[in-house]
Copies of this chain bind each other. A is one copy, B any other.
Amino acid sequence: MTKRIKSSISYKLFGFFSSLILSANVWAAAKPAESDIVSQLRDQAAKSTLPYDILESLTTEVGARMAGTPQDALAVKWAVDKFKKLGFDKVWTEPVTFDTWIRKHESASVTSPFQHELKITTLGFSIPTPESGIEAEVIHFDTIEDLIESPADSAKGKIVFISRKMERFRSGKGYGPAVKARNTGAVEAAKKGAVAVIIRSIGTDSHRLPHTGMMRYKEGVKQIPAAAMSNPDADLMERIFARKKPVKIKLRLDSHTGPKYTSHNVIGEMTGREFPDEKVVIGAHLDSWDLGTGAVDDGAGVAITMAAAKVIGDAKHRPKRTIRVVLFANEEQGLVGAKAYAAKHGGDLNNHVTGAESDFGAGKIYAFASRVAEDNLAVVSKMAKLMKPLGIEYLNNEAGPGPDLIPMYRLGMSVFSLRQDGTDYFDLHHTADDTLDKVEPENLAQNTAAYVVFAYIAANSEQKITRGVLKTH
């Protein structure tokens, strides 16, 4: 009892007295209120260097880790080792099998009316050009919509160039409208008879570092090579076109598909105190594109969510439910790890109480949104109160899932969205410039603190969070 009294005094000294008095639970009499526990963990996380250390380790010891490359296997090994070293209670991997694609060589130059080397990159899963390259006149479209609306055969025998600029927004909302050219440019250009397509990079920077990313072919439409050029090169192309002379480009891409490859989702858990089978899923994707070291896409998410779970796992008072960190394999080439996860765990949906993925870089979180049953909103209010000191506002109950939670969300899982400031994200996304120097350690720590709040409160709520029936809007 002496110890209890001493604790009680000590809590009083820390201002926790009222929570003791009000507590109906005898056990809890020795335990601070949930909000005090979470505040303390949040503040600890907000000063932590752990997420930066994790990211430093991943980007230094592994670096680029494109799905299906030897670096993919290294990343999986790194993640397993890191989870274990951090003292996660359970660590395991789950296989994820997919087609592979390798970039070998890429070059392009303007050959007429002037001579310029262009900085380009092959889009993911593009076919190569013939070894000698393709040299052809270029036809310029401002947008993919203009290409679609152009006459049949408008691009016959030509290289299509689409120059639409992506707009910069904190929310990243410029991406959706712009990325259509990358996803469907090859198909739409081929429909008009083009021999290749080169788009302006889907990115907001002005550096000569082109942005890669996936493109898609379509059954029944001729496959043509597809590349993206850097923004300054696209500006140059527009200036050249302004001269109203025929423009020619020579393009040489060498890339090839490889055999099927099996990578792994890597999963680490901090076990819940009361309902160990019920889990809150946080996570990120472990793979990156090949050009950079995947610091912001998505090493940051890996570091933030691993560190958040570690902070919660090390807490004196763990939450009722388990915190599961899922590091998804091969997000970049089609959410392959996410789909494998849902295929394996969809039947356990009832135990996936909610989740949030961190996959939008390393900017500060400025807002969060939920997608939960109406009768869970009291729990969300608790979070909102604890998020506020981090500069984070609650938005609404209309959250969408992070990319790797889409399959589980579609099955009915509730999700949260912790919105990062993405103003600079698309300066780096899918480029060689996605490196550690772009990351502010204090931003990572703020993110980690927010994930601590979200995951702890969600995992510890009296009422189990569910998706429930959502109001329609």
Interface, chain A (partner B; CB < 8 A): 56, 59-64, 70-71, 74, 114-117, 119, 206-209, 231-232, 235-236, 239-240, 243, 292-293, 431-433, 435-438
- Whether A208 contacts B119 in the complex (CB less than 8 A), given A232-B437, A437-B232, comes out as no
Extra pairs beyond A208-B435, A231-B437 (19, CB < 8 Å)? A60-B236, A60-B239, A60-B240, A60-B243, A62-B114, A64-B117, A70-B115, A74-B115, A206-B435, A206-B437, A206-B438, A207-B209, A208-B431, A208-B433, A232-B433, A232-B435, A232-B437, A235-B435, A236-B436
Q: Show 13 A/B contacts (Cβ-Cβ < 8 Å), sorted by A.
A: A56-B239, A59-B236, A60-B236, A60-B239, A60-B240, A61-B114, A63-B115, A70-B115, A206-B438, A208-B209, A208-B435, A232-B435, A235-B436
Bound: A74/B116 CA distance, A: 12
Contacts of A240 in B (CB 8 A): 60
Contacts of A64 in B (CB 8 A): 116-117
Contact B60 A114 (CB under 8 A): yes
Bound: A64/B432 CA distance, A: 22
Bound: A399/B64 CA distance, A: 49
Bound: A114/B75 CA distance, A: 12
Contact B114 A63 (CB under 8 A): yes
Contact A236 B115 (CB under 8 A): no
- Whether A209 contacts B209 in the complex (CB less than 8 A), given A71-B115, A119-B432, A232-B435, comes out as yes
Bound: A206/B296 CA distance, A: 15
Contact B437 A235 (CB under 8 A): yes
Contact A293 B116 (CB under 8 A): yes
- Whether A208 contacts B432 in the complex (CB less than 8 A), given A60-B240, A235-B437, A236-B60, comes out as yes
Q: Which of A208, A239, A431, A433 has the most CB of B within 10 A?
A: A208
Q: How far is the CB of A95 from chain B (nearest CB, A)?
A: 23
Q: How far is the CB of A55 from chain B (nearest CB, A)?
A: 11
Contacts of A115 in B (CB 8 A): 63, 70-71, 74
Contacts of A70 in B (CB 8 A): 115
Contact A236 B119 (CB under 8 A): no
Q: How far is the CB of A234 from chain B (nearest CB, A)?
A: 10
Q: How far is the CB of A231 from chain B (nearest CB, A)?
A: 7
Bound: A431/B206 CA distance, A: 13
Contacts of A435 in B (CB 8 A): 206, 208, 232, 235-236
Q: How far is the CB of A206 from chain B (nearest CB, A)?
A: 5
Bound: A243/B433 CA distance, A: 23
Q: How far is the CB of A57 from chain B (nearest CB, A)?
A: 9
Contacts of A236 in B (CB 8 A): 59-60, 63, 293, 435-436
Bound: A119/B63 CA distance, A: 14
- Top 3 A-B pairs, shortest CB-CB distance: A232-B435, A208-B432, A60-B239
Bound: A60/B247 CA distance, A: 13
Measured CB to CB, the nearest residue on chain B to A70 is B115
